[in-house]
């Protein structure tokens, strides 16, 4: 049990290191390129309030895109927290309505609008969460060069560290219906289907109000570094 737990903790740590290294490498390569910087940032998705939105919904806004998922154990909460700090700073000194901060899920199967709303409520209400069908999100991931890959976690005790509230709720439900074997089997199957994390590349994509890509910052960039780039727009 202990060895399996250690293996899964190692897996999560490895994914975090991979995201940081890939982020710095890609961002440095892109930002050192003298050619025109272009990424098609168009989309037709659903926001965290359940509304259909597109890039046209945020015309004439400076934009920061960040990709992640709500069951993420560390990279995504930390990345969104940085955006929240940026928003707090701007709100005290400038017109925040000139900016739009967008969190795009890489896990549409679990990240419903309701789930995104709950997740983002822990940070800042100015951050927009986007989800949708897999076929709608895949072109967006590809346009932003965001690599997405799921990894199963086989030890439920280890997964509880990633999403403790979900597992705890599942156990409570399981205990309250312990006499119903069919219900128990369904719960086990549901837990198994949700017992995974997403390996993905993580960057901050910064666009000006005309939707020109200005820079890409890697995961691990500070709020100060993001603010510097935004001040240059």
Give the largest CA-CA distance in the chain.
Answer: 67
Q: Which 3-state string (H, E, C) describes the chain?
A: CHHHHHHHHHHHHHHHHHHHHHHHHHHHHHHCCCCCCCCCCCCEEEECCCCEEEHHHHCCCEEEEEEECCCCCCHHHHHHHHHHHHHHHHHHHCCHHHEEEEEEECCCCCCCHHHHHHHHCCCCCCEEEEECCHHHHHHHHHHCCCCEEEEECCCHHHHCCCCHHHHHHHHHHHHHCCCCHHHHHHHHHHHHHCCEEEEECCEEEEECCCCCEEEEEECCCCHHHHHHHHHCC
Could you tell me if 93 and 41 lie in one domain?
A: yes
Could you tell me if 171 and 208 lie in one domain?
A: no
Output the six-digit token pair for 195: 């017992």
Could you tell me if 50 and 95 lie in one domain?
A: yes
Instruction: Please give the model's pTM, rounded to 2 decimal places.
Output: 0.72
Could you tell me if 60 and 173 lie in one domain?
A: no
Could you tell me if 87 and 186 lie in one domain?
A: no
- Contact (Cβ atoms closer than 8 angstroms) between residue 123 and residue 84: yes
Could you tell me if 146 and 201 lie in one domain?
A: yes
Could you tell me if 119 and 182 lie in one domain?
A: no
> What's the average model confidence in pLDDT over 75-89?
96
Could you tell me if 113 and 137 lie in one domain?
A: yes
Number of domains in the chain: 2
Could you tell me if 222 and 146 lie in one domain?
A: yes
> What's the average model confidence in pLDDT over 11-28?
50
User: Which of the two residues, 156 and 64, has the higher pLDDT score?
Assistant: 64
Q: What CATH number is given to the structural domain containing 142?
A: 3.40.30.10
Could you tell me if 107 and 36 lie in one domain?
A: yes
> What's the average model confidence in pLDDT over 5-29?
50
Q: What is the pLDDT of residues 141-182, one digit of tens each?
A: 999 999 998 877 544 433 333 333 332 333 344 343 333 334
Could you tell me if 117 and 40 lie in one domain?
A: yes
Domain with 175, as residue range(s), is 163-194
Could you tell me if 188 and 79 lie in one domain?
A: no
């Amino acid at each position: 049990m202990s060895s399996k737990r250690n293996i899964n903790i190692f897996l999560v740590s490895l994914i975090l290191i991979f995201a940081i290294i890939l982020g710095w490498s890609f961002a440095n390569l892109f930002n050192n390129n003298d050619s025109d910087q272009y990424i098609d940032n168009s989309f037709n998705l659903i926001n965290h309030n359940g509304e259909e939105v597109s890039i046209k919904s945020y015309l004439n806004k400076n934009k920061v895109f960040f990709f992640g998922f709500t069951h993420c154990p560390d990279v995504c909460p930390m990345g969104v927290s940085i955006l929240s700090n940026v928003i707090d700073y701007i709100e005290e000194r400038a017109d925040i309505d000139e900016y739009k901060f967008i969190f795009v899920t890489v896990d549409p199967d679990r990240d419903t609008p309701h789930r995104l709303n709950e997740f983002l409520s822990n940070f800042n209400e100015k951050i927009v969460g986007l989800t949708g069908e897999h076929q709608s999100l895949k072109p967006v991931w590809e346009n932003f060069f965001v690599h997405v890959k799921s990894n199963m976690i086989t030890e439920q005790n280890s997964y509880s560290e990633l999403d403790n509230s979900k597992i705890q709720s599942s156990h409570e439900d399981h205990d309250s219906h312990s006499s119903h074997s069919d219900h128990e089997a369904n719960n086990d199957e549901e837990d198994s289907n949700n017992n995974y994390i997403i390996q993905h590349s993580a960057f901050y994509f910064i666009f000006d109000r005309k939707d020109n890509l200005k820079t890409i910052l890697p995961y691990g960039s500070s709020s100060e570094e993001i603010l510097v780039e935004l001040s240059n727009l």
